[in-house]
Amino acid sequence: DTAVSQTPKYLVTQMGNDKSIKCEQNLGHDTMYWYKQDSKKFLKIMFSYNNKELIINETVPNRFSPKSPDKAHLNLHINSLELGDSAVYFCASSQDQETGWNGYTFGSGTRLTVV
């Protein structure tokens, strides 16, 4: 069983389109994240949800909107796609605990290409 699964793995779309990326975790974790990784491998946090509540919302265009229908899911919807949105998007999750924290578990990524 995949712990953090993202779909689709690849997404090629035209400028101006609206698209969604889905993420599900079966680890029972409390917090989920979206990261954007650019072509130089730099990782930038976009959003974080804890038990369906938004807790981190970095400086991201409002064309990006996260949705968390329940604790195990965090989807990312992108409106009016632009060329600069091309990147790999990673979903991650983590458990809330005071000690012995093991960091994040990442999905395998969604490579978005806007043409």
Partner 1 sequence: GDSVTQMEGPVTLSEEAFLTINCTYTATGYPSLFWYVQYPGEGLQLLLKATKADDKGSNKGFEATYRKETTSFHLEKGSVQVSDSAVYFCAQTGGGNKLTFGTGTQLKVEL
Binding site for partner 1 (CB under 8 A): 4, 31, 40-43, 45, 48, 55-56, 90, 92, 94, 96, 100-109
The Cα–Cα gap between 45 and 90 comes to 9
The tally of CA atoms less than 13 A away on the side-chain side of residue 41 is 0
The CB-of-106 to partner 1 minimum distance in angstroms stands at: 4
- Which of these, 92, 87, 84, lies nearest to 27 by C-alpha position? 92
Nearest CB to partner 1, comparing residues 14 and 40: 40
The CB-of-64 to partner 1 minimum distance in angstroms stands at: 19
Give the length of the chain.
115
Nearest CB to partner 1, comparing residues 15 and 56: 56
Nearest CB to partner 1, comparing residues 109 and 113: 109
The CB-of-96 to partner 1 minimum distance in angstroms stands at: 7
Start-to-end CA span in the chain (Å) = 33
